[in-house]
Amino acid sequence: MKKYFRALVLGLLLLACEIGQAGSNSQSIADAILAGEGSKSVAFNQQGELSLLYWKVVYGNPNPADDFFDDPTGDFFQQHYFTQLIFATQAVDGQFKEEVVATSEEVGWQQHYGGFTHAVEVRDYTNASLVFDSHNQAHMLAYDGYDIVRFSRVNGVWQKVESTVIPCCSGNERENYMAVEIDQHDALHVLINHNASLYYATNKSGEWQWEIAATDFNFVQHYYPNGELVDEDGNLYQMSYLPRFVSLAIDQDGFAHIGYCPAFKQYYYDGGPTRSTSQYQYASNRTGEWLTEVISLPANTSSDAGYGGSVAINPVTQKPAIATFYVSRAKTGSAKAAKLLFHEKLNDRWVTKTIASKANGYLAKDGNKGTGFAPLLKFDDQGKPVVAFSDFASQHFSFGADEFAGQIRSAQKNRQGKWVIKTLYAQRKPLLNQVIYPSMAMKGSRQVFVSTVQKSKLKGISVINTDYQVVVIDQTQSSK
């Protein structure tokens, strides 16, 4: 739903995969949630082995002596928090072998609630990313509340090898979004926000160099103690409904290409709530300075064109492309229709086409509202685009409307130039079924889709229990 409808009760509508259906080529990891936004939590190493980066989840109050999170009626949202950051590699038998990269105290954002400190809560996730260099060395980068830390796997053991001070920040600031890439020369590239500015850094010169890439980022500024993200007006965002607001890709020459949602524009009208609208922008430093282009604009003063996207480089043409989520809305902010868009730069101009506009059975009481949420774009070796995304649903309640994202879906352009769309992890009943950040990894003919799913119990419209698991779906055979 539109963010200005959100109230505290919406934070209790964090719903889950009560029933998720996938084929026999799927498996799940219990009590786990993909690190960061998932886009760099799933990767193949140089030997073609699949690796994951996820947090182990513990349920309950981390400090039983403190009743800050307790609700005597039993209706309040159950507390979750992280304990260990796990690197897992899939063995020949298909099972994942786990290794502890770090504890949440080492790399987690420490929260201070009710007079005590504990590790990050599930929806207050740490942006941790996994990359492999050309020597098959695994690296994990994360923001720890003060610095960017790097852990590397040295002789089979994870060690903290670097801590890089973010020059813009004094510590304990609001750096909520971070994207990481590694280029063909093993140089690291980082994009991170500090309030409304996006900072880009790389170590390709041998030392970390920082610069401002954009100053108009749509920054979610506050947190509610329950763990939901809250904007400057105190409006809540559900974890499952968090878009991918930043994206980073590196071309073969080591230049950066970013996609992001700039600050919402606010509008007012008599007799109704504040309206906000968003757009999606692209920027690159390929010319030697950062140049910004508008990729997707809303059709009116209430729709959203910037509610998440993903940028990628075509390995054949070396041209950027972007997948975005678009929602058309009524002037009240209620969703009318959503769609998945593909933007490609051809002859120095951006060309936009619709990939999909209908949900596949993922319907709440407002009916079929469309698809395309949280897209993640990648290209195969032949330069054919593949997008992982979720369906979109909405429902009106007495306090307003809420929106949901669920199902793992894929869209892949075939040799004839047509988009082939599949539902890889099917869900129904959006109020009871959601996914968090559909993700994927590809290498050669291998194609694997991974996402965090939720399983909850409700009392009325309040979540009283929620379990998390990571679902892995191997599409290698069906993708041939």
DSSP string, 363-420: -BTTB--BEEEEEEEEE-TTS-EEEEEEEEEEEEETTEEEEEEEEEEEEEE-TTSPEE
What is the secondary structure of 148-194 as a DSSP string? EEEEEEETTEEEEEEEEE-TT--SS-----EEEEE-TT--EEEEEEE
Give me the numbers of helices (H) and strands (E) for the chain, helices first please: 2, 36
Q: What is the mean pLDDT of residues 400-407?
A: 88
Band of pLDDT at residue 269, cut at 50, 70 and 90: low
CB within 8 A of 85, min separation 6: which ones?
35, 53, 54, 55, 100, 101, 102, 103, 104, 107, 126, 128, 140, 142
Q: In Å, how far from its chain's centre is CA 287?
A: 29
pLDDT at 171 over 70: no
pLDDT at 125 over 80: no
pLDDT at 126 over 80: no
Q: How far apart are CA 266 and CA 287, in angstroms?
A: 33
Cβ-contact 61, 78 below 8 angstroms: no
Task: Give the Cβ contact number of residue 415 at 10 Å.
Answer: 7
pLDDT at 112 over 90: no
The pLDDT, as a whole number, for residue 459 is 72
Q: When comparing pLDDT for 263 and 295, which is higher?
A: 295
Q: What is the mean pLDDT of residues 81-110?
A: 84
The pLDDT, as a whole number, for residue 199 is 93
Q: How far is CA 387 from CA 318, 372, 402, in A?
A: 18, 9, 25
Instruction: Please work out, in degrees rounded to the nearest 5, the angle formed at the alpha carbon of residue 412 by the alpha carbons of 247 and 422.
Output: 110
The pLDDT, as a whole number, for residue 468 is 85
Q: How far is CA 271 from CA 275, 335, 399, in A?
A: 12, 19, 16
Identify the structural domains of the chain with CATH numbers, from first to last: 3-474 (2.130.10.10)
Q: When comparing pLDDT for 366 and 79, which is higher?
A: 366
CB within 8 A of 207, min separation 6: which ones?
none
pLDDT at 120 over 50: no
Q: What is the mean pLDDT of residues 61-71?
A: 46
The pLDDT, as a whole number, for residue 333 is 84
The pLDDT, as a whole number, for residue 237 is 41
Q: How far apart are CA 202 and CA 194, in angstroms?
A: 17
Cβ-contact 387, 374 below 8 angstroms: no
Band of pLDDT at residue 223, cut at 50, 70 and 90: very low
Share of the chain above pLDDT 90, in %: 52
The pLDDT, as a whole number, for residue 227 is 36
Q: What is the mean pLDDT of residues 44-52?
A: 95
Instruction: Please work out, in degrees rounded to the nearest 5, the angle formed at the alpha carbon of residue 137 by the alpha carbons of 132 and 140.
Output: 60
Band of pLDDT at residue 20, cut at 50, 70 and 90: very low
Band of pLDDT at residue 60, cut at 50, 70 and 90: low
35-39, 281-285, 292-296 — which is least confidently predicted?
A: 35-39
194-198, 377-381, 409-413 — which is least confidently predicted?
A: 194-198
pLDDT at 114 over 90: no
Q: When comparing pLDDT for 419 and 36, which is higher?
A: 419
Give the mean pLDDT of the chain.
80
Q: What is the mean pLDDT of residues 55-77?
A: 52
To which residue do tokens 């894929």 refer? 410
Q: What is the mean pLDDT of residues 46-54?
A: 95
Q: In Å, how far from its chain's centre is CA 327?
A: 18
Q: What is the mean pLDDT of residues 41-68?
A: 77
Instruction: Please work out, in degrees rounded to the nearest 5, the angle formed at the alpha carbon of residue 310 by the alpha carbons of 306 and 312.
Output: 140
CB within 8 A of 342, min separation 6: which ones?
321, 322, 323, 352, 353, 354, 355, 377, 385, 387
* pTM score: 0.87
The pLDDT, as a whole number, for residue 92 is 87
Band of pLDDT at residue 2, cut at 50, 70 and 90: very low
The segment with the largest mean pLDDT, out of 17-31, 100-114, 125-139, 225-239, is 125-139
Per-residue model confidence as pLDDT tens digits over 4-16: 333 322 333 332 2
Q: How far is CA 216 from CA 106, 194, 280, in A?
A: 31, 11, 11
Instruction: Please work out, in degrees rounded to the nearest 5, the angle formed at the alpha carbon of residue 386 by the alpha carbons of 380 and 387.
Output: 150
195-209, 303-317, 457-471 — which is least confidently predicted?
A: 457-471
7-11, 54-58, 218-222 — which is least confidently predicted?
A: 7-11
The pLDDT, as a whole number, for residue 265 is 73
Q: How far apart are CA 12 and CA 240, in angstroms?
A: 12
The pLDDT, as a whole number, for residue 480 is 43
The segment with the largest mean pLDDT, out of 11-15, 114-118, 219-223, is 219-223
The pLDDT, as a whole number, for residue 194 is 79
Q: What is the mean pLDDT of residues 444-467?
A: 80
Q: How far apart are CA 10 and CA 352, in angstroms?
A: 34
The pLDDT, as a whole number, for residue 375 is 97
Name the residue among 431, 371, 443, 427 with its Cα closest to residue 401: 431
Q: How far is CA 262 from CA 101, 216, 274, in A?
A: 34, 5, 18
Q: In Å, how far from its chain's centre is CA 342?
A: 18
pLDDT at 464 over 50: yes
The pLDDT, as a whole number, for residue 243 is 82
